[in-house]
Amino acid sequence: MKAEERWQARFRASRMTLPSWARQAPNRSVYRSNATGTWEVYAWDRVTGATRQVTDRPKGTAYAAIDPTGQWIYWFADTDGDEFGGWMRQPFTGGPDEPVAPGLPPGQPGGIALSTTGVAAISLASGGSFRIHLVQNGGTDRLLYENTEAAWVAAMSLDGSLIAINHGEYGDFRHPALRVVRQSGETVGELHDGPSKGVIGLSFAPVAGDRRLLALHERRHRHEPLVWDPATGEQREIWLKDSGDLAAEWYDDGRGLLILRDDRARSYLHRYDLAGGGLTLIDTPHGVIDEAAPRPGGHVEYSWSSASRPPVIRSSTGQVVVNASGPAAPPSVPVEDVDVEGPGGRIHALVSKPEVGAAPFPAVFLLHGGPTAHDRDSFSPEVAAWVDAGFAVVRVNYRGSTGYGSAWRDALHGDVGHIELADVAAVRQWVVDRGIADPCRMVLAGSAWGGYLTLLGLGTQPDLWTAGIAAVPIACHQTSYEDEAESLRAYHRALLGGSPDEQPERYAASSPITYVDQVKSPLLILAGENDTRCPLRQIEKYVAMLAENGREHEVYTYDAIRGSLVVSERIAQIALQLEFARKHIITH
């Protein structure tokens, strides 16, 4: 198989999310897959083995859920991939689609929580407001919560009597508080740990009448599980001596927790016994677990991959639970860990090297989005495509990344963008000094926040980069704030200390458009026409200034927010990026 065929085959190979199941009907599951070339929702009857495609939408479907009884499948229906719309549902066994709340205006989704009684809690944001509505089985709705600061529904008890809400009423969307209310809106309990310490609701105990809520706190400078009874106020913190950020899920009987530990770009599973406090490591292959959940009976199903091995749904019994249909993706190269001393502490980065050719390689620094995300030892068709093209791929978990504790994640305050790029520059120097990468053949690239850092890097570090590729970037924080979705405005306020009117100097200092006249390298920009996260107008302003300054650039637009739900669009975008890089970088 030729290199081009190989990288395209990785994108075309079917993938699927971890199937989620109904609490009271665990043989009924729902998942999303790109088997048709577009990410859509599927129903799976584990008794008969039958699967059924539930949605068929041109731009794909990003969010889906199944209710605890297994009667209904829910999904979010947006318009042309703009993440703005309303929730729909369909019977598990098939039938007509129906709007969950026909009386509600469209909005940006903030989550959905479902009960055994047919009551649903729906989060939608629009018009400068964040709202949570209670919706009865017949579609009638009632406003439960509204605020101008970001809020979303976190969970609902099985009987629907208690609703958990995460909110930023205290002024910090990045570190939310947690409130539990009754259907009347009466507050049952609240957890707020103060500045820079968020409390994130996960799920109520999966046992009828059990009020305990599983949450994550940051009292010891990382995410750790907490079991909380909002009625009595009783709290139980779950502490592990092992390093890494933690997440958790209930076991089906409510007597134990599945702990997912993310440490240095790899994942580990543990069972924690709530009765005795015992902790047991669950045997899993070396790599990354994107999702995991305990099944009735005690075994765990999880979605696993590594940089060299494509994703598969596994069980802790050692069996493969289910494979996506069609041929498997071709494997890729393993990733190498590097640790670099940076201006703010030790930086963890991942390097993928071509199997052919000799160092120093042309290199692409592929910067992750977020910034509250991090690169891991997981399978990436995008990374593999660059490696097949002869590039070393360097991914930097710069300050601002998750996975390395709260202090590392929150280090951006005061100098957003420039802090991340200082870490990127340190890793760049490290790979050059060790003969891994050629300093004259360097591409800076990324999507979303990574695209933003690419634009900012080309303007503030113009001598370090030979070319740049920025997908759906932020080019001007102020203009982006004016046009973006409500949740992104809340994030901007939390990250930059207020709105553009309140912090004009910070917005300007962190905006790539401020440094556009310093750009030297050729630049490719990819932008979504319907993007509500990184809106088109602010990119157009940046491109106009590039043209005024006579800078070499190319622009590609497409009619969606990200393009990532349609496989053919993703392939077209990667092909465009590789061709642009070849044009400006000699790879051999």
pLDDT tens track, the chain, 588 positions? 688 899 999 999 999 999 999 999 999 999 999 999 999 999 999 999 999 999 999 889 999 999 999 999 999 999 877 888 999 999 999 999 999 999 999 999 999 999 999 999 999 999 889 999 999 987 899 999 999 999 999 999 999 999 999 999 997 888 999 999 999 999 999 999 998 899 999 999 999 999 999 999 999 999 999 999 999 999 999 999 999 999 999 999 999 999 999 999 999 999 999 999 999 999 999 999 999 999 999 999 999 999 999 999 999 999 999 988 888 999 999 999 999 999 999 999 999 999 999 999 999 999 999 999 999 999 999 999 999 999 999 999 999 999 999 999 999 977 999 999 999 999 999 999 999 999 999 999 999 999 999 999 999 999 999 999 999 999 999 999 998 888 888 889 989 999 999 999 999 999 999 999 999 999 999 998 877 788 889 999 999 999 999 999 999 998 865 556 889 999 999 999 999 999 999 754
Helix (H, G, I), strand (E, B) or coil at 254: coil
Q: How far apart are the first and last CA of the chain?
A: 20
Q: Which H/E stretch holds residue 188?
A: strand 187-191
Domain ranges of the chain: 240-323, 336-584
Handedness of CA 558, 559, 562, 567 (dihedral sign): negative
Q: Looking at the structure, give the CATH architecture of the domain made up of residues 336-584.
A: 3-Layer(aba) Sandwich (3.40)
Tokens of residue 508, six digits: 């300007």
pTM: 0.94
The Cα–Cα gap between 448 and 245 comes to: 23
Q: Please, which residues bridge with residue 314 across strands? A: 302, 320
